[in-house]
């Protein structure tokens, strides 16, 4: 067996021919043929005028394909599992392929179409009333059975030999009976075809009702189009059922349309409500943010006002400020000095004054180049002097040169400060550089009077080591010096 199977596998390509069409392809082609439609009456008229069967077959070809397609679609719609059936197994073999069925139907339909065409050319024969003949035949057979050949019977207005007369009538009647028999056969065949036709139409109409009930309206429309061409006008029940089905189809379409419109309206309302809620949420969020921003601004304004008040409070004068003024006047002190880098001037002008490095750090005021070293800051913290602005009594401070050498400043700028800052309530005085561990500071008139004012007008390098330290005595102003007390503030470029 395996040997023969191998041989068949090798040679079957010579017998099989082209690759067979798939079931789904057969179904799709049939549906397309039905949708395309035909003019049946025109085709039959042309075919009836043809001179031979080959020409008729060629003319009837569209009708044959159309009717075959209807049969294929009917088979698949009755057994839809044909299209979804899996590959046959050994236990269950497939009886036929759909393309084979299609070819067979086309052959049968071709023969049927030719027969229908020939049938339509046969003229209908009127059936005569033979009831009178039947009684005469019975009488004739009665005479024959009695062998009364010479008896006379009265037929119409003549008296003839009963046998001769009735024999002639019998011969004529038999001829008529033969014709009637053929006519009866044709009528029975027509009735049978009519019953098949009506049965198929009923199936299609039932299928149409099913499609409408399942809301398969597109398929239902195709079937209505097909039935409207298939149902003959004389089949009143079919016409009525089709009319009712079309009405039901339109009602179903209207119902579905209304339902879809209602769903669409509902969706639009829901979307509008969603947008409204979203907009309200956005407005509420904006309102909350606005209130938060206003609250934040109020807090900032409050803090700013509080800060300004604190800064202004620092400008209050000491109770003995006149005594301090007298000491400074007696020692010819008319101005104080503070050196900084030229890059810091913009920040000083924008912030309206000169601030301690500690205040700048706490309030996010950027100092591009600070004159303080890290050691100087740590010493300020150690002595509690981190929140003081340093002023000197001398123009050319030695620490300026140290800062330049260390690269902490590159373009020194000398700010001139009014001696009015000496009278502020929290201002202190240092007998040398306040970063020196041996320094002392105080805020009294006596402490101010103890400073070596005589050294402030001498050159730094002309002094001994102790005098050099005393030469660097400082005024320590709490937190800030407003711009109004910087006498050359207006000279600072914007």
| 326 and 449 fall within a common domain | yes
Residue 275 resides in a domain: no
pLDDT band of residue 352 (cuts 50, 70, 90) is very high
| 149 and 187 fall within a common domain | yes
| 440 and 365 fall within a common domain | yes
Final residue of a structural domain among 239, 254, 269: 254
Residue 175 resides in a domain: yes
Torsional sign, CA 136, 138, 140, 143? negative
What average pLDDT does this structure show over 198-203?
88
Residue 420 resides in a domain: yes
318, 443 contact by CB (below 8 A):
yes
Final residue of a structural domain among 238, 254, 270: 254
pLDDT band of residue 122 (cuts 50, 70, 90) is low
E strand map for 314-411 = 335-341, 353-355, 388-392
Domain span at 150? 133-254
Res 176 pLDDT > 50 = yes
Please write the tens of the pLDDT for every residue from 230-270.
Answer: 888 888 888 888 888 899 888 888 988 898 999 999 999 99
pLDDT band of residue 341 (cuts 50, 70, 90) is very high
Other C-beta atoms lying within 10 Å of the C-beta of residue 91: 5
| 329 and 465 fall within a common domain | yes
Most confident of 2-16, 31-45, 96-110, 140-154: 31-45
d(CA 198, CA 192): 10
| 419 and 486 fall within a common domain | yes
| 72 and 139 fall within a common domain | no
| 105 and 186 fall within a common domain | no
| 105 and 175 fall within a common domain | no
Q: What's the alpha-carbon Rg for the chain, to the nearest Å?
A: 63
pTM given for the model = 0.45
Residue 214 resides in a domain: yes
Please provide residue 161's backbone torsions phi and psi, each rounded to the nearest 5 degrees: -60, 120
| 76 and 163 fall within a common domain | no
Residue 261 resides in a domain: no
Res 476 pLDDT > 80 = yes
State the total domains in the chain: 3
347 alpha carbon, distance to own chain's centre: 54
d(CA 107, CA 365): 102
CA within 13 Å, CB half, 323: 10
Residue 312 resides in a domain: no
211, 223 contact by CB (below 8 A):
yes
| 52 and 146 fall within a common domain | no
| 100 and 161 fall within a common domain | no
| 347 and 208 fall within a common domain | no
The closest alpha carbon to 367, from 387, 342, 392, 391, belongs to 342
């Amino acid at each position: 067996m395996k040997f023969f199977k191998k041989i068949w596998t090798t040679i079957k390509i010579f017998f099989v021919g082209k690759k067979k069409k798939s079931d789904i392809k057969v179904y799709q082609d049939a549906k397309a043929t039905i949708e395309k439609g035909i003019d049946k009456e025109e085709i039959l008229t042309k075919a009836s005028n043809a001179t031979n069967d080959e020409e008729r077959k060629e003319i009837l070809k569209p009708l044959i394909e159309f009717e075959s397609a209807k049969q294929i679609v009917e088979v698949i719609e009755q057994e839809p599992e044909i299209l979804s059936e899996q590959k046959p197994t050994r236990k269950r073999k497939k009886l036929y392929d759909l393309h084979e069925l299609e070819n067979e139907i086309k052959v049968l339909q071709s023969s049927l179409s030719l027969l229908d065409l020939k049938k339509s050319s046969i003229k209908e024969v009127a059936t005569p009333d033979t009831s009178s003949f039947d009684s005469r035949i019975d009488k004739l057979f009665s005479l024959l059975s009695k062998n009364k050949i010479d008896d006379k019977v009265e037929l119409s207005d003549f008296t003839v030999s009963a046998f001769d007369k009735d024999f002639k009538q019998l011969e004529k009647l038999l001829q008529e009976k033969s014709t009637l028999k053929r006519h009866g056969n044709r009528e029975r065949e027509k009735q049978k075809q009519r019953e098949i036709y009506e049965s198929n139409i009923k199936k299609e109409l039932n299928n149409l009702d099913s499609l409408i009930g399942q809301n398969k309206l597109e398929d239902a429309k195709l079937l209505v189009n097909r039935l409207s061409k298939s149902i003959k006008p004389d089949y009143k029940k079919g016409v009525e059922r089709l009319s009712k089905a079309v009405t039901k189809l339109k009602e179903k379409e209207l119902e579905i349309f209304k339902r879809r419109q209602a769903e669409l309206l509902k969706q639009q309302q829901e979307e509008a409500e969603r947008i409204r809620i979203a907009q309200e949420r956005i407005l509420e969020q904006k309102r909350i943010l606005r209130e938060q921003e206003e609250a934040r601004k109020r807090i900032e304004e409050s803090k700013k006002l509080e800060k300004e008040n604190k800064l202004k409070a620092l400008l209050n004068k000491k109770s003995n400020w006149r005594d301090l003024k007298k000491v400074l006047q007696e020692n010819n002190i008319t101005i104080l000095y503070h050196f900084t880098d030229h890059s810091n001037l913009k920040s000083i002008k924008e912030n309206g004054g000169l601030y301690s490095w500690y205040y700048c750090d706490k309030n996010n005021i950027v100092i591009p180049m600070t004159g303080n070293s890290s050691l100087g800051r740590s010493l300020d913290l150690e002595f509690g002097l981190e929140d003081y602005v340093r002023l000197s009594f001398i123009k050319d401070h030695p620490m300026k040169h140290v800062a330049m050498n260390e690269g902490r400043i590159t373009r020194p700028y000398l700010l001139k400060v009014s001696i009015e800052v000496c009278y502020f309530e929290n201002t202190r005085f240092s007998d040398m550089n306040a970063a020196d561990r041996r320094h002392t500071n105080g805020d009294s008139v006596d402490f101010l009077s103890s400073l070596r004012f005589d050294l402030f007008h001498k050159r730094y390098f002309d002094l001994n080591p102790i005098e050099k330290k005393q030469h660097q005595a400082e005024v320590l102003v709490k937190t800030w010096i407003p711009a109004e007390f910087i006498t050359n503030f207006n000279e600072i470029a914007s």
